């Protein structure tokens, strides 16, 4: 036996990174970097449904979250925040342009939303998408404990499931699509349709907002890569016989938390102040959206404009508040949309406003949750009119805040939310005449009937909240693995 070198026992080993039984991967980390008044940098939790949902599953077991910190350049070191281990993934400015603004939001987003605007195809965007997805997968592989559950989010990371499987065949991989999955006729336009499907098939379980989305995915696998499929599952084409499950698990909101916030006396006071500051209108209508061409803001404004022009509605009795959160401001289609919406608002106010009472109050800001809750409570009619939307959480947030059973929800048939909230005042936003009639019906329906509708809508959201969504997803992921050596 070789003599051991002196001091061998005391040679320090390089510490391995800590690993976690649950790893989330999402395009963004759940925090934003803020610079305080003293010039110090700190991280603040970005409030959002996904963060709340993950709180509910991470309080029993510590988890890690892999994502981009939101600014180009080298990433900050890993750190812990509110009991979650955050693993920043770095993106160069060029990658932000090609992977995020380009492939994710200029190629995939339009194709997955019915090509409301034309999609752009660029090979260098696709190359960047692949590289960035590989980097996310490497970060996941490094922090996942043996046999961990890995939950990948959304359309920006569709190749991550297969990359992770190659690096870490021991982990269990789930992916959830927050946006629609398009019909095969549209998906087939993508020059990289095969690799995208193969990327997703690296998962054990794929979750979608609607059954129709899961069906579209299964059909795309059958028609475009000739995979063997059954209702709700696809057999991968690598000859292993492994089956991947695909099912609908619709996302929701934190019903209890948001309702408690809406009941706060400060929110009630703010709600009254909002109505007063708008001149105490008899009827307040509200739209709240990211400024995105999928949200049907132009169609909504057109219907409203015609109702005003026909004298069926008008200020000072009636007003519309349209809150439009700034979004993807470096993408051309979003710049055009903003210019168009702002011009239309200007025209409506110029033609149809009265002194001191604009017909539309347009706000291009992001607001804290308290302000949103106050706005929802103040609104007599909530207009949710997307042309296509995976779910639309605004619809669910509105009914959550209406514990008084007041208000009326106008909801587009083309949202995932409509499949759960079909008692709402349904509309097809492409049909401007029909949309006008629906708005008038939402206004004119007697209060007792509106209360009955609101009670039914609230019951649905209360029973299917975001905590239940996360628990259902993870239960489906645990049940999913279907390896030939273990499976039937």
Cα distances (angstroms) measured from residue 38 to each of 42, 69, 151, 322, 439: 11, 22, 37, 35, 49
- Establish if 179 lies at the interface with ligand ADQ (CB under 6 A): yes
Query: Looking at residue 419, what DSSP letter applies?
Result: G
The reply to whether 378 sits near ligand ADQ by the rule CB under 6 A is no
Beta carbons of 200 and 173 less than 8 angstroms apart: no
Q: Which of 65, 66, 64 is nearest to 89 (CA)?
A: 66
Choose one: 91-99, 229-237, 392-400, 440-448; the region binding ligand ADQ (CB under 6 A): 392-400
Q: Does 379 bind ligand ADQ (CB under 6 A)?
A: no
* Cβ at position 295, least distance to ligand ADQ in Å: 8
Q: Which is nearer to ligand ADQ, 50 or 307 (CB)?
A: 50
202 is a site residue for ligand ADQ (CB under 6 A): no
The nearer residue to ligand ADQ, 141 or 291, going by C-beta atoms, is: 291
To ligand ADQ, the closest distance from the beta carbon of 398 in angstroms equals 9
Q: Among residues 194, 366, 404, 483, which is the contact residue for ligand ADQ, using CB under 6 A?
A: 366
Q: What's phi and psi for 84, nearest 5 deg?
A: -115, 135
Does the protein bind ligand ADQ through residue 92 (CB under 6 A)? no
CB of 260 to ligand ADQ, least distance (A): 16
| Shorter beta-carbon distance to ligand ADQ: residue 178 or 215 | 178
Q: Which is nearer to ligand ADQ, 121 or 367 (CB)?
A: 367
State in angstroms the smallest separation of the CB of 254 from ligand ADQ: 10
Span 308-337, contacts to ligand ADQ by CB under 6 A: 323, 325
Residue 391 is a binding residue for ligand ADQ (CB under 6 A)? yes
Q: Judged by CB under 6 A, does residue 419 bind ligand ADQ? A: no
Structural contact between residues 90 and 71, judged by C-beta atoms closer than 8 angstroms: no
Tell me, residue by residue from 226 to 255, as one string, x for binding to ligand ADQ by CB under 6 A and - for no binding: -------------------------x----
**In this chain, which of 28, 85, 135, 178 binds ligand ADQ, going by CB under 6 A?**
178
Q: ∠ CA 123-127-133 to the nearest 5 degrees?
A: 140
Q: Is residue 212 at the binding interface for ligand ADQ, with CB under 6 A as the rule?
A: no
Q: Which span sits near ligand ADQ by CB under 6 A: 6-14, 95-103, 259-267, 390-398?
A: 390-398
Binding-site size, ligand ADQ (CB under 6 A): 19
| CB neighbour list of residue 450: distance below 8 Å, 6 or more residues apart | 405, 406, 407, 408
87: closest CA among 76, 99, 96? 76
Nearer to ligand ADQ, 258 or 443 (CB): 258
Q: Given candidates 52, 319, 392, 412, which one binds ligand ADQ under the rule CB under 6 A? A: 392
For the stretch 138-148, what's the b/e string if a residue is b when 16 or more beta carbons lie within 10 angstroms of its beta carbon?
ebbbbbbeeeb
* Burial of 448 from C-beta contacts in 10 A (0-12 / 13-18 / 19+): exposed
CA 25 → CA 87, 307, 370, distances in Å? 9, 46, 28
Q: Considering the complex, state which of residue 20 and residue 398 has its C-beta at the smaller distance from ligand ADQ.
A: 398
**DSSP line for 48-71:** -HHHHHHHHHHTTS-EEEEEE-SS
**Residues 27, 276: Cα–Cα separation, whole Å:** 40
Cβ proximity to ligand ADQ: between 20 and 414 the closer is: 414
Contact 386, 246 (CB under 8 A): no
Q: How far apart are CA 307 and CA 162, in angstroms?
A: 52
User: In the chain, what's the furthest Cα-to-Cα distance?
Assistant: 99
Within residues 260-299, the interface with ligand ADQ by CB under 6 A covers 288, 290
- Tell me which of 234, 393, 427, 442 binds ligand ADQ, using CB under 6 A: 393
For 309, other C-beta atoms within 10 Å of its C-beta total: 13
Closest CB to ligand ADQ among residues 288, 297: 288
Q: Is 394 in the site for ligand ADQ (CB under 6 A)?
A: yes
Is 227 within 8 Å of 236 (Cβ atoms)?
yes
Can you give the binding site for ligand ADQ, defined by CB under 6 A? 49, 178-179, 251, 288, 290, 323, 325, 365-367, 372, 389-394, 397
């Amino acid at each position: 036996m070789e003599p051991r070198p002196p001091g061998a026992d005391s040679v320090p080993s390089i510490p391995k990174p800590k690993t976690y039984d649950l790893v989330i991967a999402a395009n963004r980390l759940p925090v934003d970097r803020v610079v305080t008044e003293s010039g110090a940098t700190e991280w603040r939790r970005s409030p959002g449904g996904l963060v709340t949902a993950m709180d509910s599953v991470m309080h029993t077991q510590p988890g890690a979250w892999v994502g981009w910190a939101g600014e180009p350049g080298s990433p900050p070191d890993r750190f812990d925040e509110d009991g979650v281990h955050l693993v920043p993934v770095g993106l160069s400015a060029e990658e932000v342009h090609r992977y995020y603004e380009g492939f994710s939001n200029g190629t995939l987003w339009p194709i997955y939303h019915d090509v409301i605007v034309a999609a752009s195809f660029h090979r260098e965007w696709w190359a960047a998408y692949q590289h960035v997805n590989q980097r996310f997968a490497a970060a996941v592989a490094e922090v996942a404990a043996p046999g961990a559950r890995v939950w990948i989010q959304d359309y920006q990371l569709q190749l991550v499931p297969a990359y992770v499987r190659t690096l870490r065949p021991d982990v269990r991989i789930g992916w959830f699509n927050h946006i629609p999955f398009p019909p095969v006729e549209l998906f087939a336009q993508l020059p990289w349709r095969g690799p995208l499907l193969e990327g997703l098939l690296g998962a054990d379980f794929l979750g979608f907002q609607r059954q129709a989305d899961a069906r579209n995915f299964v059909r795309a696998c059958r028609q475009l890569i000739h995979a063997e499929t059954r209702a709700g599952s696809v057999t991968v084409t690598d000859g292993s016989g492994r089956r991947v499950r695909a099912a609908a698990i619709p996302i929701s909101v934190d019903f209890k938390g948001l309702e408690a916030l809406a009941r706060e006396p400060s929110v009630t006071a703010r709600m009254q102040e909002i109505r007063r500051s708008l001149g105490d209108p008899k009827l307040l209508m509200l739209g709240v959206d990211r400024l995105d061409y999928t949200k049907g803001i132009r169609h909504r404004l057109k219907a409203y404009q015609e109702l005003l022009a026909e004298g069926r509605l008008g200020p000072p009795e009636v007003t519309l508040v349209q809150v439009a959160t700034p979004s993807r401001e470096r993408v051309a289609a979003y710049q055009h949309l903003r210019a168009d919406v702002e011009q239309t608002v200007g025209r409506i106010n110029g033609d149809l406003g009265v002194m001191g009472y604009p017909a539309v109050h347009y706000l291009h800001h992001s607001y804290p949750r308290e302000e949103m809750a106050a706005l929802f409570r103040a609104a007599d009619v909530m207009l949710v009119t997307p042309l296509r939307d995976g779910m639309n959480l605004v619809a669910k947030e509105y009914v959550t805040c209406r514990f008084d059973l007041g208000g009326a929800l106008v909801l587009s048939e083309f949202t995932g939310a409509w499949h759960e909230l079909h008692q709402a005042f349904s509309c097809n936003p492409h049909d401007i005449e029909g949309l006008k009639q629906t708005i008038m019906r939402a206004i004119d329906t007697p209060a007792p009937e509106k209360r009955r509708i609101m009670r039914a809508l609230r019951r649905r959201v209360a029973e299917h909240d975001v905590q239940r969504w996360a628990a259902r997803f993870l239960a489906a992921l645990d049940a999913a693995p279907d390896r030939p050596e273990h499976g039937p």
